[in-house]
Amino acid sequence: MTKPALTPLAESLPASVPFVGPEAQERQMGRTFTARLGANESAFGPSPKAIAAMQKAAGEAWMYGDPESNDLRHALAAHHGVQPENIMVGEGIDALLGLLVRLYVGAGDAVVTSAGAYPTFNYHVAGFGGRLHTVPYNGDHEDPDALIAKATEVSAKLIYIANPDNPMGSWHRAEVIQHMIDRLPSGCLLVLDEAYIDLAPDGTAPAIDPDAANVIRMRTFSKAHGMAGARVGYAIGSAEVINGFNKVRNHFGMCRISQEGALAALQDTGWLSHVRQEVAQARDRIGAIAQAHGLHPLPSATNFVTIDCGHDGDFARAVLAALVAEGIFVRMPFVPPQDRCIRVSCGTEAQLDAFAQALPKALAQAHEKLR
C-alpha cells in the first residue's frame, strides 16, 4: 500500500511550529499554569458587548459565516477612512501572512526581516520556499535603515517589520516608518505588522494611504480587543493587493461567531479605553516587580514587558525554566543579544502577584546554575 510522496520542499521542512502552546506545556507537565503570561493575550477579556454578540451568534452556528465578512469589512473601512475594497478579513494575522507569502514568494525569492522578529512569518517563508535574509536589531529596536539596505541588496519581494515590535515591545514613531515606506526599492512590498497599534502611543502609526500598492498593514482583534481565541485579523492595503487574497483564501474560514464578536468589539470604544488603562497599569506593575529584583524592564508600547535579566541567554533561559516550573507561563526572545531577556504579558492583579512571588525563586535558581 503506497501513498504519494511529499513534495521535495515539504520533505525538507522540519515538522515544527513557531510557538509551543501553553496547553502543550501543561500536558507535558501534568498540571496547569497558575499564571498565563506568555502569549500576549488580553487577560482583561473581550468587550461585554462582544461576548453578548458572540453568544447570540452561537445559535446561528449551523450556518457558514459570510464568506465576504461584508458587515465587518464595511465597519472596518469606515473606521479607518478607506473603502471596503481596501480591507481583507482573515483568520488572524498569522493566516493572512501565510496567504500573502503564498501570493508573492516563490521558490528562491528573497524576503527580508529582522533576526529574532516574529517567527511565524519566517515559518511561512520557509514553507513556500523563499530565501530569508535577516538583519540584526539596532539596540532593542528593529532597524528600518538596515532592512531597506538589505532588501535593496537582495532584490527582496517582501520586507517584514512589526511596529510596535514583538518580542521586544519597542516602537518607532510614524515618521520613521513613513521614511522607510518612501525608500522602498522597486518591486518590494512592505509588510507592516501593527498587531499592537491599539496599545501604542499616539503618533506611532503613519497615515493610511489606500492607494499605496507597496505597503500592506496587518491589524488584529487578538490583542487590545481580547479576542485571540476568535481568530480575527485583517489587512489594509490597495484594492489591487487586497483583491489578490481572493485568489487563494479560505472563503469560509471566518465563522459567524467571530465576525459578530469583532463587529461589536470595534464599536465598543469604551471597553478599548478600559483595556488600555489596565494594560498601562500592568506594564507599570511588571516593571516595578522587575526593578525590585535588580532587573531592567524595557520601555513597551504593547501588552507585554520585556525584561533584561542582566546576563546572557543561558541565564535568561534558566530564569524562564524556573518560572515555568513555578507555574508561571512566560516566553523570551530567541536570538542573541535579545535572548538575554524574558517577556511577560500584562495580566490581572492575581496573575502578577503570582509572578512577583515566583520571580525571586527563579532568579535564585538561575544564579545557582551560574556558580
pLDDT at 17: 83
Displacement of CA 92 from its chain's centroid (Å): 9
- DSSP, collapsed to helix, strand or coil, labels residue 306 as strand
Give 16's pLDDT tier (boundaries 50, 70, 90).
confident
pLDDT at 106: 96
Give 201's pLDDT tier (boundaries 50, 70, 90).
very high
pTM of the complete model:
0.96
Question: Residue 191: beta bridge partners?
Answer: 160, 216
pLDDT at 282: 98
pLDDT at 346: 98
Give 332's pLDDT tier (boundaries 50, 70, 90).
very high
> 218, 282, 267: which is closest to 88 by C-alpha?
218
Contact, 219 vs 195, CB < 8 A? yes
Which own/partner pairs from 324-328 qualify as long-range (CB within 8 Å, at least 24 positions apart)?
324/25, 324/29, 326/34, 326/358, 326/361, 326/362, 327/31, 327/32, 327/33, 327/34, 327/35, 327/354, 327/358, 328/33, 328/34, 328/35, 328/37, 328/354, 328/355, 328/358, 328/362
Give the residue, 18 or 247, on which the prediction is more confident: 247
- Domains located in the chain, CATH noted: 20-45+270-370 (3.90.1150.10), 48-267 (3.40.640.10)
- DSSP, collapsed to helix, strand or coil, labels residue 198 as helix
Give 18's pLDDT tier (boundaries 50, 70, 90).
confident
pLDDT at 2: 87
Residue 1 has pLDDT above 80, yes or no: no
Residue 191 has pLDDT above 80, yes or no: yes
Residue 369 has pLDDT above 90, yes or no: no
Residue 371 has pLDDT above 80, yes or no: no
